[in-house]
Amino acid sequence: MNIQILDPSQPAVLDPPVIGWLFARWRADRGPGGLPPAGWVPIDGPPRLSDMMARIAFDPVARRFRYLAVGRDLVAHRESLRVVDPTGLHMDEIDFHSDPTDMMSVLTLAAYSGKPICAEATYSARYGRQGSYRWLLLPLGEGTVSEVMTAIVYSDAASGETG
């Protein structure tokens, strides 16, 4: 997994454009503590942005993450799995195509550092699906991180489709 820790005080050019737009909006909406508040969701944006986003709660004591909301594209990408819509579930209760260690490490880094992160990776799911994804993680909270807003854009190797 290729990981880039972003400087919240500096603009960044990120591809695809929807990821770049979300980072710019997050930067603009930061409060006095340096982060947008927990529950932050941009009210405008590119078409289908909400379909590729998820809000994830972070419990620093239990060191667990729980899905608060999951967009339609992310649910659709899980169609071959036992748990298709993980809303309300802790991440350690979910089947993730493959080993979730990298994903959990990046979420933990975003939560503890309070810094936005852009990550890229390829995947090969046990169910035969292959492709890559671009993932933006944006910490949210007042004073300390209590949520991480994520946006994921998948590119499936077989179809070449992005979604």
Given this model, what pLDDT does residue 158 score? 46
Number of independent structural domains in the chain: 1
- Domain range for 87: 1-6+53-163
DSSP 3-state of 118: strand
Predicted local confidence at residue 156, as pLDDT: 59
Give the CATH number of the domain where residue 163 resides: 3.30.450.20
Read off φ and ψ for residue 141, nearest 5 degrees: 150, 165
Residue 160 makes CB contacts below 8 A (sequence gap 6+) with: none
Asked if residue 23 is part of any domain, the answer here is no
CA angle (104 as vertex; 159, 73 as ends), nearest 5: 35
Q: Running along the chain, 163 residues long, what does each successive block of 10 average in pLDDT?
A: 93 91 95 92 88 91 91 78 80 73 87 93 70 90 90 65 50
Give the pLDDT of residue 83.
Answer: 64
Prediction pTM value:
0.86
17 in any annotated domain: no
The reply to whether 37 falls in a domain is: no
Helix, strand, or coil here: 93?
Answer: helix
Residue 43 lies in a domain: no
- CA-atom Rg of the chain in angstroms: 15
Does 102 fall in a domain? yes
